[in-house]
């Protein structure tokens, strides 16, 4: 089983940023609204995620580290209407198979906190009492210590951290109501305070820059079960700010990119890819999120309809804001 975990780890755990992604998504799934991410040496030495979510009961600590045992998916029906971010039940198992992982947790209803430790392929998970406030902390040390081939692919500390920073930005834009702190080598690098939807522009300014937040056109459009909202900016130095979310999940979807580009090019001729932070919402049964193991891509059942809707919505907001 541990070997299977290590093979699966290849899909889930490419680099430190992929570990951060899985762990933070688990924290969000656990209802946390405060998450602290501590990184040392680009994540190679340490990745620590602390949250104030609902915690893991003592009896379930070991289970949480075993593959598929805990998948949030209960039936095929769920597969079509996935609302939680993690749904494969293998992230923790995969991560622990290529690191030294400590899981400490306390559900509010439990008197004491408990801690589980797993190291590499060694299946013996040890559980012991510990001190911990309500919520969960996961510490991942020495990533890839037992898989030298994969460790070789790690880039410099700076590069790996910049991937983590970018990932945390994308997460920060997916949930304005969650406070997130990111530290690197014990220094605070980002501090995203919790924001209400009305204060959303604050968060956008923090992530994508003040210029973007001030200059971008605001989109809000809905038709035929589709809803699009967010910010777009055709030019300026917004080139790095391209964020898309489908039903709250971050995506890098070709169809959406294409539609945004087309909206601009129909009006302005060829341009560089504009900056945008946009949220698309639609019936979950109209989209497959299962296309890619890392869940960055989606497939829309009515691709043409979605595409044309986005083109119209962007054109409307940017070029015909009065109508
Ligand atoms: P999945 O998210 O697909 O269920 P994971 O391997 O990512 O699988 O997590 C295994 C299980 O451990 C989750 O289903 C959840 O029950 C529990 N878990 C993991 N992280 C947390 C957390 N931060 N807070 C509460 N429970 C958690
Ligand atoms: Mg998960």
**Is the pLDDT score of 142 beyond 90?**
yes
* Residue 138's pLDDT band (cuts 50, 70, 90): very high
Tokens for 271, please give them: 């341009």
Kindly report, residue by residue over 3-20, the tens digit of the pLDDT: 555 555 555 688 999 999
Pocket-testing residue among 9, 23, 28, 29, ligand 1, by greatest number of atoms within 8 A of Cβ? 29
Q: What is the 264 CA–ligand 1 centroid distance (Å)? A: 41
Ligand 1 closest atom vs CA 72: 4
Q: What is the pLDDT of residues 160-198, one digit of tens each?
A: 999 999 999 999 999 999 999 999 999 999 999 999 988
Question: Which whole number is the average pLDDT over 33-55?
Answer: 98
ipTM, interface predicted TM-score of the complex: 0.99
What tens digit of pLDDT does each residue of 196-246 get?
A: 988 999 999 999 999 899 989 999 999 989 999 999 987 655 556 889 999
The number of residues making up the chain comes to: 323
Is 72 close to ligand 1, i.e. is its CB under 6 Å away? Answer: yes
**The two three-digit tokens of residue 11, written as one number:** 């899909």
Per-residue pLDDT at 289: 74
DSSP string, 5-65: HHHHHHHH-SSHHHHHHHHHHHHHHTT-SEEEEEEEGGGTSEEEEEE-SS---GGGHHHHT
Look at 38-42, 257-261, 271-275, 303-307 and tell me which has the smallest mean pLDDT: 271-275
Q: Which two tokens stand for residue 105?
A: 């947790």
51 within ligand 1 shell (Cβ under 6 A): yes
Q: Is residue 279 helix, strand or coil?
A: strand
Predicted confidence at residue 73, as pLDDT, reads 46
CB 236 less than 6 A from any atom of ligand 1: no
pLDDT for 77: 46
Q: What is the pTM of this model?
A: 0.88
Name the residue with the closest Cα to ligand 1, atom 10: 64
Centre of ligand 1 to C-alpha 41, Å, is 25
- Burial class from Cβ neighbours inside 10 Å (0-12, 13-18, 19+) for residue 244 reads buried
What mean pLDDT value characterizes the chain? 86
Give 9 Cα–ligand 1 centroid separation in angstroms. Answer: 16
Q: Is the dihedral of CA 58, 62, 64, 69 positive or negative?
A: negative
Q: From the CB of 90, is ligand 1 less than 6 Å away?
A: yes
State which residues have CB under 5 angstroms from ligand 2, the bound ion: 26, 86, 91
Q: Considering only CA atoms, which residue is closest to atom 22 of ligand 1?
A: 27
**Cα 71 to middle of ligand 2, angstroms:** 8
Residue 255 CA to ligand 1 center (angstroms) comes to: 31
> From the CA of 165, how far away is ligand 2's center (Å)?
20
For residue 87 and ligand 1, the question of a CB distance below 6 A is answered with yes
Q: Do 40 and 57 meet the contact criterion of CB atoms below 8 Å apart?
A: no
For residue 81, pLDDT over 80 is answered with no
């Amino acid at each position: 089983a541990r070997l299977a975990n290590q093979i699966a780890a290849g899909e889930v755990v490419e680099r430190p940023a992929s570990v951060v992604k899985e762990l933070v998504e688990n924290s969000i799934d656990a209802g946390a609204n405060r998450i602290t991410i501590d990184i040392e040496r680009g994540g190679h030495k340490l990745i620590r995620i602390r949250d104030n979510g609902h915690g893991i009961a003592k009896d379930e600590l070991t289970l949480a580290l075993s593959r598929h045992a805990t998948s949030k998916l209960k039936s095929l029906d769920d597969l079509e209407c996935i609302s939680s971010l993690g749904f494969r039940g293998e992230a923790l198992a995969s991560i622990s198979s290529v690191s030294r992982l400590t899981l400490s947790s306390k559900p509010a209803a439990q008197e004491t906190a408990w801690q589980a430790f797993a190291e590499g392929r060694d299946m013996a998970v040890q559980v012991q009492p510990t001190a911990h406030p309500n919520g969960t902390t996961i510490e991942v040390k020495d990533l890839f210590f037992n898989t030298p081939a994969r460790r070789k692919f790690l880039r410099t500390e700076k590069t790996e951290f910049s991937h983590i920073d970018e990932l945390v930005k994308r997460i920060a834009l997916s949930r304005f109501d969650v406070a997130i702190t990111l530290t690197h080598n014990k220094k605070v690098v980002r501090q995203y305070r919790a924001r209400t939807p009305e204060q959303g522009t604050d968060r956008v300014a923090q992530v994508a820059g003040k210029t973007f937040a001030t200059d971008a056109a605001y989109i809000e459009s809905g038709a035929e079960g589709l809803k699009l909202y967010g910010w777009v900016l055709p030019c300026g130095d917004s080139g790095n700010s391209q964020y898309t979310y489908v039903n709250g999940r971050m995506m890098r979807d070709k169809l959406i990119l294409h539609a945004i580009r087309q909206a601009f090019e129909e009006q302005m001729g060829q341009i560089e890819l504009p900056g945008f932070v946009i949220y698309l919402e639609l019936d979950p049964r109209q989209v497959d999120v299962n296309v890619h193991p890392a869940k960055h891509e989606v497939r829309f059942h009515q691709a043409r309809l979605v595409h044309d809707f986005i083109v119209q919505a962007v054109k409307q907001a940017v070029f015909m804001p009065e109508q």
